[in-house]
Every structure is written in structure tokens, then in C-alpha cells.
Amino acid sequence: MMSADAVKASYTISERDFLAASRLNETPPTRLLVLFAVILIGLLAVYLTDYYGFGQLAHGALIGLVLSYLFLHFVGSPYKAKKFYRGFKALHDNFTVELLPTGLEISSMHGRNQLLWKDIKDWKQNREFLLVYPKPDVFYVLPKKISEQGFDGRALVQALEMYVGKAS
């Protein structure tokens, strides 16, 4: 799966990259989306049938939930991510990643961290990024464009699936 001569890749994370990665990080799991949809459908049903006279209450709750979600998704989360990125200057530096048989090594001028497969709790990916979680609330951002430098992203995904499990 992994070659003996591992390829290192270097990258930097721009503010736009961090915002996109944060949006991926905050993507709710499917089970939570299903629960949210069931609640919305239930509230809609109560509103449409005016079940026990709770139609107006259900209507208000429905509007409140949708507006709250939209506000958090489009205003609150991006604001929080920008503030975090701008305040955490180490994120602006150049990073180097190397795929090892035992895990991943991610380094910058501030230090080196070797993430063993057993220490990776979760991971997510989309077209642009792969996020690796050593803790539930901490993630490393790996831009998929590092494959242009010879980094074997496919081998990384295979290793994560084998040692950590399916992406969440």
C-alpha cells in the first residue's frame, strides 16, 4: 500500500482554505440530519393540522429552527472560523506532511507531530480537503492538492479506512 520511499508534501492553509475546512468540520453526521428533518416534518405536520391547537406554536418553532440553523451556518460559524484563523498565527505557516507505515507525520516550524493510526479518532473528506482528528474537537487540514507534489492521497484514504474506519 505505501512505498518505502515516502513522499513529503508541503502546503499552507489560507483563510479561505480554513473557512472551507471548518465548514467540512461542522457538517453534521447523517443521523443528525435525519433527526433534524424528522423534527421539521413533525412540526410542519402539527402546523398544517393545527393538532390540539398547537399549529401556531409549531409554526413559530419551525421558523425559529430554520432561521437559527441558517444564521449559525452562514454567519456564526464563518465568523468563529475567521477569528480563530486570524488569532492562531501558527496556522499561517508552511506545513509538511508525510505518510508513514505507522501513521502521518505533520510538521511546521513550530514542531513535529506524529499521528499514529491508533491515535486518530476520526476523519472527513470532500473534494478539496481531508481532515484528520486526533481528538474529537481538534483536526488537521490536508489539502488534496498536495497530490500534485506526489503525495499519495489514495494510500492515505485506504490506510485511514483500514486503521480508523469509514469517514464520518
93-141, pLDDT tens digit by residue?
999 999 999 999 999 999 999 999 999 999 999 999 999 999 998 999 9
pLDDT over 60 at 88, yes or no: yes
pLDDT value for 61:
94
**Distance (Å, whole) CA 56 – CA 47:** 6
How many CB atoms lie under 10 A from the CB of residue 57? 14
Q: Which positions ≥6 away from 104 have C-beta within 8 Å?
A: 97, 98, 114, 115, 120, 132, 140, 156
- Would you give the DSSP letter of residue 144? G
pLDDT in tens, 134-164: 999 899 999 999 999 999 999 999 999 999 9
HEC per residue, 24-46: HHCCCCHHHHHHHHHHHHHHHHH
Nearest to 93 by CA among 13, 5, 8, 4: 13
Say if residues 82 and 75 touch (Cβ distance below 8 Å): no
- How many residues make up the chain in this entry? 168
pLDDT value for 27:
85
pLDDT classification of 4: cutoffs 50, 70, 90:
very low
Q: Which residues pair with 133 in a beta bridge?
A: 122
pLDDT classification of 166: cutoffs 50, 70, 90:
very high
What integer best gives the mean pLDDT of the chain?
92
Question: In the predicted model, what is the mean pLDDT of residues 73-85?
Answer: 94
**Distance (Å, whole) CA 160 – CA 152:** 13
Say if residues 59 and 51 touch (Cβ distance below 8 Å): no
pLDDT classification of 30: cutoffs 50, 70, 90:
confident
